[in-house]
Amino acid sequence: MKSISWKSAAELVGLASIVASLLLVAFELRQTTAISTAQAVFDVNTAHDESYRSRAENPQLDALIENGHNDPSSLSERELSQFISWLHADMNISEAMWFYFDNGILEADDMDGFMTSVCGRITTKGGTAYWKRRAARFARGFREQVDKWCFE
């Protein structure tokens, strides 16, 4: 009978160890997810901040972007090319943010500000013209999401 007791005790200790290990893995996974989410938001915000900082420090760039959004026909060919390049780089950052969302790194509840930001760029006169001509350069899922967010 003692061998059965020892065996039962050993099984119980083994089971408790497995449960404790699973709880530890779950905790570590949760921490890793939180870190990944924070890093994703930081990375995208840093990239967008660089764009805004450039605009704040360069009045000509700021005017170019403003005119590109509001009256793209007023831009020279060179200026229009610059605006398109700036907007494309900006949308690349937005696409990266969408990939974080689409892969579950960011929750849908956290996307309101991002959605407003993207639509603010794409629904202007110049932004809409850009999107109609160049949306195919982005991932299909991103294009569909932008169309749903901004144009439906």
Distance CA 124, CA 122 (A): 6
Report how many domains make up the chain. Answer: 1
pTM: predicted TM-score of the whole model, two decimal places: 0.74
Percentage of the chain modeled with pLDDT above 90: 49
Q: Please determine, for residue 40, whether its predicted confidence score (pLDDT) is greater than 80.
A: no
Q: Is residue 40 part of a domain?
A: yes
| pLDDT tens digit sequence for 6-18 | 778 778 888 888 8
Count of CB atoms situated within 10 Å of the CB of 89: 12
Range of the domain at 125: 36-151
Whether the Cβ atoms of residue 61 and residue 75 lie closer than 8 Å to each other = no
Environment class of 128 (CB within 10 Å of its CB; exposed 0-12, middle 13-18, buried 19+)? middle
Return the pLDDT at 3.
59
Q: Is residue 141 part of a domain?
A: yes
Return the pLDDT at 149.
92
Return the pLDDT at 61.
93
Three-state SS across 109-141?
HHCHHHHHHHHHHHCCHHHHHHHHHHHHHCCHH
Q: Is residue 13 part of a domain?
A: no
pLDDT tier, 4 (very low <50, low <70, confident <90, very high otherwise): low
Q: Is residue 24 part of a domain?
A: no
Return the pLDDT at 22.
85
Q: Is residue 79 part of a domain?
A: yes
Q: Is residue 29 part of a domain?
A: no
Q: Is residue 23 part of a domain?
A: no
Range with the poorest average pLDDT among 23-27, 39-43, 68-72: 39-43
Mean pLDDT of 55-76: 95
Mean pLDDT of 69-90: 95
Q: Is residue 18 part of a domain?
A: no
